[in-house]
Amino acid sequence: MISIRNIVKQYASQRALDDVSMEIEKGTVFGLLGPNGAGKTSLIRIINQITAPDSGEILFNGEKLTQKHIERIGYLPEERGLYKKMKIGEQILYLARLKGLDKQEAMRRIKYWFVKMEMESWWDKKVEDLSKGMQQKVQFVATVLHEPELLILDEPFTGFDPVNAEIIKNEILELNKKGATIIFSTHRMESVEELCDSIALLNLSHKILNGKVKDIRNTYRNGTYLLEYEGDHRAFNGSAPFTLLSETHHDGSHQVKIKIEGDKKVNDILQYLLPLVAINKVEEIVPTMNEIFIQTVSKSN
């Protein structure tokens, strides 16, 4: 759906994006990640036609991105943009009309979402009278009301308690299931593993990692395993064909973390251990997206 090609953006002496390219497939949830100042917001603003790149181009379904595509995009910014003294119902209706909905259709959709998000009594409330989490609900509804093909969600869970964060997460998945393509920017790596099909990681204006989440995690596998066993812990010392990283012993339960060396496989390790101890559990420890994020950004720096 979105082709980002060789984007460069400069602000005075600060280069925000330096020859950044990526492809966002239709119908996927795409994580746009990076530490503060990496260039994420600059790229999001360019996709939303708020600012223009100095060079490079963005294609929307094969067409050069222009203002005509904005009605097909829903944008939830990290810095929320609601009018604090305006009544919520009037405000959402106003924003829906800006996105091209006629009044009758806008009212139908507003009623649907107000019931769905338990907001029926909020119509005459002002934004400033709501908690931060309640304001977030209003902003989310305003973002999705016109049923955009592309949703750009910048830190969508900010201000939510765990219950409402779960509600919003499920709504995001449901919108994706119905066909929406979603660009999802967050610092919560657990959300990336739950929601995202693919990611791009930016740092210091450059793209430093890009691909499907599953493939990236497999690339960072390093032969580390957790074993739970019964028997003599000395089996994990001496000439064992692995490196012992840590071990714990509690109430008769023994666990070790090991790293397999060279071209050895887990079956080789079990063949060595089974004559010595009883293995109850073997679990590969694949690096989390949070660990990959920290490792890749640190190496880039």
In terms of C-beta distances under 8 Å and separation of at least 24 residues, what long-range contacts does 191-198 make, across chains too? 191/157, 192/31, 192/33, 192/289, 193/288, 193/289, 194/169, 195/29, 195/31, 195/169, 196/29, 196/30, 196/31, 197/25, 197/28, 197/29, 197/30, 198/24, 198/25, 198/28, 198/30, 198/31
What are 121-180's pLDDT values in tens digits? 999 999 899 888 889 899 999 999 999 999 999 989 887 888 988 999 999 999 999 999
- Residue ending a domain, among 163, 188, 218, is 218
Q: Cα–Cα distance between 30 and 199 in angstroms, integer?
A: 5
Q: In the predicted model, is pLDDT for residue 181 greater than 80?
A: yes
Q: Cα–Cα distance between 239 and 243 in angstroms, integer?
A: 10
Q: In the predicted model, is pLDDT for residue 23 greater than 80?
A: yes
What are 191-250's pLDDT values in tens digits? 899 999 999 999 999 999 999 999 999 999 989 999 999 888 888 876 778 888 998 887
When pLDDT is cut at 50, 70 and 90, the band that residue 29 belongs to is very high
Residues 17 and 144 in one domain: yes
Residues 237 and 200 in one domain: no
Residues 213 and 71 in one domain: yes
CATH number of the domain bearing residue 160: 3.40.50.300
pTM here is: 0.87
Residue 43 lies in a domain: yes
Q: Cα–Cα distance between 190 and 199 in angstroms, integer?
A: 13
Q: In the predicted model, is pLDDT for residue 99 greater than 80?
A: yes
Residue 136 lies in a domain: yes
Query: What is the number of structural domains in the chain?
Result: 2
State the pairing for strand pair 198-203/150-154.
unpaired
Q: In the predicted model, is pLDDT for residue 112 greater than 80?
A: yes
Residue 291 lies in a domain: no
Q: Cα–Cα distance between 93 and 53 in angstroms, integer?
A: 32
Domain that includes residue 113, residue range: 2-218
Residues 137 and 244 in one domain: no
The residues with which 256 forms a beta bridge, in sequence order, are 227, 247
Kind and range of the H or E element at 279? strand 277-284
User: In the prediction, which pLDDT does 160 show?
Assistant: 85
Kind and range of the H or E element at 247? strand 242-250
Residue 184 lies in a domain: yes
Answer yes or no: are the C-beta atoms of 114 and 122 closer than 8 Å: yes
Q: Cα–Cα distance between 100 and 143 in angstroms, integer?
A: 13
User: In the prediction, which pLDDT does 253 show?
Assistant: 76
Residue 290 lies in a domain: no
Residues 226 and 212 in one domain: no
Q: In the predicted model, is pLDDT for residue 3 greater than 80?
A: yes
Radius of gyration of the chain (CA): 24
Residues 126 and 229 in one domain: no
When pLDDT is cut at 50, 70 and 90, the band that residue 54 belongs to is very high
Residues 205 and 279 in one domain: no
User: In the prediction, which pLDDT does 79 show?
Assistant: 78
